[in-house]
């Protein structure tokens, strides 16, 4: 859990003894490639922090096609926020894109953690603000950039995704077919 410790220290000042107590609220799990850690129809009970690997969040649309809405790499959090906060059934899946190690916290433990260590309210406020800002930018890009510009922007800002995530998943995230992404990539290689 060293990665989580270091991540916490970036956002909050915390006594080392308290930090160890904070970590006791979390659990660790290894996730196999393509393993789902959340599935549509389940109550969303956990918030996941990626220690190693890549997760993706997706839903299956009315045509039966998977639509990726979010990725998380090392030091990023992922959950279905609405379902997690309200203990609701989710309409999303969370799946490991590659073998991954995650730390997770239940909604119940997160509430206990926040009550016992108010400084964690500050930490999770930063986490949620960043997630919300990222979602806002994605919506802006969907409406203001061409598909090709969206892909180029992603390559520039998040080269680690382009290198680690299969192209068909990047296409799913960007909202177009793998074939169209292949055409865009051919133009780049000329």
- CA pair distance 62, 162, nearest whole angstrom: 27
Task: For residues 116 and 99, give the distance between their C-alpha atoms in angstroms, rounded to a whole number.
Answer: 33
Q: What is the pLDDT of residues 98-114, one digit of tens each?
A: 999 999 999 999 999 99
DSSP bridge partners of 89? 43
* Cβ neighbours, 10 Å, residue 166: 11
Q: What are phi and psi of 126, to 5 degrees?
A: -60, -45
pLDDT band of 127, cuts 50, 70, 90: very high
By the 8 A CB rule, do 10 and 21 touch? Answer: no
> For residue 188, what pLDDT band results from cuts at 50, 70 and 90?
confident
Q: How many other CB atoms are there within 10 angstroms of residue 44's CB atom?
A: 23
At 70, phi and psi to the nearest 5?
-165, 150
pTM confidence score: 0.92
pLDDT on residue 190: 55
pLDDT digit string (tens) for 32-91?
999 999 999 999 999 999 999 999 999 999 999 999 999 999 999 999 999 999 999 999
């Amino acid at each position: 859990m060293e990665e989580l410790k270091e991540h916490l220290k970036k956002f909050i000042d915390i006594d080392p003894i308290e930090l160890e107590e904070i970590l006791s609220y979390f659990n660790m799990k290894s996730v196999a490639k393509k393993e789902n850690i959340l599935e549509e129809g389940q109550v969303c009970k956990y918030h996941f922090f990626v220690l190693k690997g890549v997760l993706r969040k997706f839903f299956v649309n009315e045509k039966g096609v998977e639509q990726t809405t979010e990725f998380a790499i090392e030091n990023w959090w992922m959950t279905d926020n609405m379902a997690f906060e309200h203990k609701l059934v989710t309409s999303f899946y969370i799946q490991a894109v590659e073998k991954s190690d995650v730390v997770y916290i239940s909604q119940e433990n997160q509430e206990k953690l926040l009550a016992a260590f108010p400084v964690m309210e500050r930490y999770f406020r930063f986490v949620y603000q960043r997630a919300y800002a990222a979602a806002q930018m994605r919506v802006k890009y969907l409406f203001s950039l061409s598909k090709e510009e969206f892909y180029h922007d992603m390559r520039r800002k998040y080269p680690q995704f382009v290198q680690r995530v299969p192209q068909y998943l990047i296409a799913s995230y960007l909202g177009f077919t793998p074939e169209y992404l292949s055409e865009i990539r051919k133009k780049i290689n000329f």
